[in-house]
Chain A
Amino acid sequence: MSKKKLVLLVILPLIVFFVSLFWGRYPIAPLDVFRILISKIIPIQHTWPSTMETIIMSVRLPRALLAMLVGAGLSISGASFQGIFSNPLVSPDILGVTSAAGFGAAVAILCSFNSTLIQTSAFAFGLLGVGLSYMISRVYKTTPILMLVLSGVIVASLFGALTSATKYLADPELKLRDITFWLMGSMASASWKDVFRVFIPIVVGMSGLLMLRWRLNLLSMGDEEARSLGVRTERLKGIIIVCTTLITAASVCVAGVIGWIGLVIPHVARMIVGPDHKVLLPTSIAIGACYLLIIDDIARTATTTEIPLGILTAVIGAPFFAYLLRKTKGGWK
């Protein structure tokens, strides 16, 4: 990777992050944002209204951090899964984590649980769903790709149906609305609590994937070939599935279902830096963090009410992806 690209991939997220703090319906000058942030480190004179500080520190900052964490996490998960499935069409929810987590949340909403329990239930069901897929796919002590994909389809459709059943049972005035909104994804209620909650699973998962990133190249050549190159494929696949599942389940439990990022961002990253997972994974993190943050900025500022993220990622992502696809004629693969 060239120096220029490297610098850009470090600086771009920082710029987007900073812009997200002063951009919003309540106008805050960039300089004030800067002062408020500085004041947290070194005591300087307060020259700004306290509302402004509250907006930055309690609303925009955690929200921006959460968006970056989730965006980065979903993207690196997608890139890793595309690697282990040797297929660029794979997204992080291929093993059913999203549908299962969605069901977990829907049930918790139906039972009128509080937000902590809803998140816990979503996270737990996400792990359960992937665990189920993995168990179904395991034959002769191996997990062939085709078996994994099909098991994922089974688990996803099962939990999809259960989610529908939950919606059917839900009170249409209140709970059905909540469930539907939750499933469309949103960061509107993002708080520091959410950031802290998902920080550990997402960062642990990302670190694991980053450490193993070169091995993903080997795994992407197919199980048998990777084995002939000395890779303990089952162990490695297992670790990667655990890492991505931690990330996606954590993301879904705080932000709801946000599709599309895990599929598209790895492609965009691959166009910029090529297919080598050694650089592809860090690049996916940078671009994914920027992308979801920008999408979330649009979600909260475009109209007077919040636009669900799941809608925006697709509405903005699909034409963008189509444009890239046409322009490169699929050449990046």
Chain B
Amino acid sequence: MTAIVSLKDAAFSYGETEIFGGISLDVSAGEIVCILGANGCGKTTLLRCINSSLRLKKGKIYVGEDDIATLSVDKVALKIGFVFQEHSAPFPFSVLEVVRMGRAPHMKILATPSKKDTAIAEESLALVGMLHLKNKPYTQISGGERQLILIARTLAQNPEVILMDEPTSHLDFRNQTIILQMICKLAEKGIAVIMTSHLPDHALLYSSRVALMKDGGFLAVGKPDEVMTEESLKNIYGIEVKMVTVNDPNSHGTIKIVLPMKELTNHNKN
């Protein structure tokens, strides 16, 4: 399958400080690529470069046929959606209004949303199961709901690629799972998803491929089973971990989960 997004030897630096370099990656439609790495390894910066919020210092990023550096902001928004982390709104817009904002790249600059835009927004809300909230103020819903609303907004944008920066952080166990299931649903619709995650288990359970990132470079990219080993995880997080294989209650196969080792948490005991 041809790649929707491809990064060719991408590098970025703030002034003299290189944030990442030598990054190459191809992502196809329907794939979920999860970027794992310690805080500050450059994951978010990488996403912002793919979104063309930040310009690469070296290398290229292609979306379909186009070099992203040559696309204007509105053209990029037609192809790439971004779900932001820790989101809040300054004004209590209704949920529907927030989702309708996703239609912006499809609208003329002086236009206001049409009936069709509203219909698309409602459709997207229905898809994430949040249509009942459409008239609620966005500032008065829970974190999990907000994340789903943002996904709905990105769906209304109708992009080929969705970037997500730690979509499950700050969410409780149930909401983390709901969001991840939703991400799988997006991939089934043929959208390429590139997300960062703070939890290796999420990558093991839900992603089609994993990129392990350390010090601004990819250590390995591949199927979660293949690249996520005790060794490689120890390398990127700097802690001892154990991979445990358990029976998958959903199928007859097995799944792996990652456990941090107790000894390393000893210094926290008191």
Is B243 part of the binding interface, using a Cβ–Cβ cutoff of 8 Å?
Answer: no
B91 neighbours in A (Cβ, 8 Å): 83, 86, 88, 220, 270, 275, 333
Asked if B53 and A224 make an inter-chain contact with CB atoms under 8 angstroms apart, the answer reads yes
A230 neighbours in B (Cβ, 8 Å): 73-78, 104-105
Interface residues of A in 279-333 (CB under 8 A from B): 332-333
Q: For the complex, what is the distance from the CA of A276 to the CA of B98, rounded to whole Å?
A: 10
Is B51 part of the binding interface, using a Cβ–Cβ cutoff of 8 Å?
Answer: yes
Sample 23 A-B pairs with CB under 8 A, ordered by A number: A88-B91, A211-B110, A214-B111, A214-B113, A218-B104, A220-B90, A221-B101, A224-B84, A225-B82, A225-B84, A227-B53, A228-B51, A229-B102, A230-B74, A230-B75, A230-B76, A230-B78, A230-B105, A232-B73, A276-B93, A276-B97, A333-B90, A333-B92
A227 neighbours in B (Cβ, 8 Å): 53, 73, 77
Of A218, A229, A233, most B-chain CB atoms within 10 Å: A229
B92 neighbours in A (Cβ, 8 Å): 274-275, 332-333
Q: Closest CB of chain B to A204's CB: distance in Å? A: 15
Report the count of interface residues on A (CB-CB < 8 A). 29
B 111-132 binary contact with A (CB < 8 Å = 1; else 0) = 1110000000000000000000
Is B37 part of the binding interface, using a Cβ–Cβ cutoff of 8 Å?
Answer: no
How many residue pairs bridge A and B at CB < 8 Å? 77
Q: Chain B: which residue is nearest A221 at the CB level? A: B89
Q: Closest CB of chain B to A240's CB: distance in Å? A: 12
Is B208 part of the binding interface, using a Cβ–Cβ cutoff of 8 Å?
Answer: no
Given contacts A214-B112, A217-B101, A218-B101, contact A228 B90 (CB under 8 A): no
Is A150 part of the binding interface, using a Cβ–Cβ cutoff of 8 Å?
Answer: no
Contact residues of B: prevailing secondary structure = mixed
Asked if B104 and A229 make an inter-chain contact with CB atoms under 8 angstroms apart, the answer reads yes
Q: Chain A: which residue is nearest B52 at the CB level? A: A227
Write the residues of chain A forming the contact surface with B, with a CB cutoff of 8 angstroms. 83, 86-88, 211-215, 217-218, 220-221, 224-225, 227-233, 270, 274-276, 278, 332-333
Asked if A228 and B101 make an inter-chain contact with CB atoms under 8 angstroms apart, the answer reads no
Q: Closest CB of chain B to A50's CB: distance in Å? A: 47
Q: Chain B: which residue is nearest A276 at the CB level? A: B97
B113 neighbours in A (Cβ, 8 Å): 214
Q: Closest CB of chain B to A55's CB: distance in Å? A: 42
Q: For the complex, what is the distance from the CA of A274 to the CA of B77, rounded to whole Å?
A: 27
B102 neighbours in A (Cβ, 8 Å): 229
Asked if B53 and A229 make an inter-chain contact with CB atoms under 8 angstroms apart, the answer reads no
A228 neighbours in B (Cβ, 8 Å): 51, 53, 77, 80-82, 84
Name the contact of A333 in the complex, choosing from B53, B139, B157 (C-beta under 8 A).
B139
Q: For the complex, what is the distance from the CA of A214 to the CA of B118, rounded to whole Å?
A: 14
A274 neighbours in B (Cβ, 8 Å): 92, 94
Q: For the complex, what is the distance from the CA of A48 to the CA of B259, rounded to whole Å?
A: 94
Q: Closest CB of chain A to B110's CB: distance in Å? A: 5
Given contacts A229-B157, A230-B73, contact A87 B104 (CB under 8 A): no
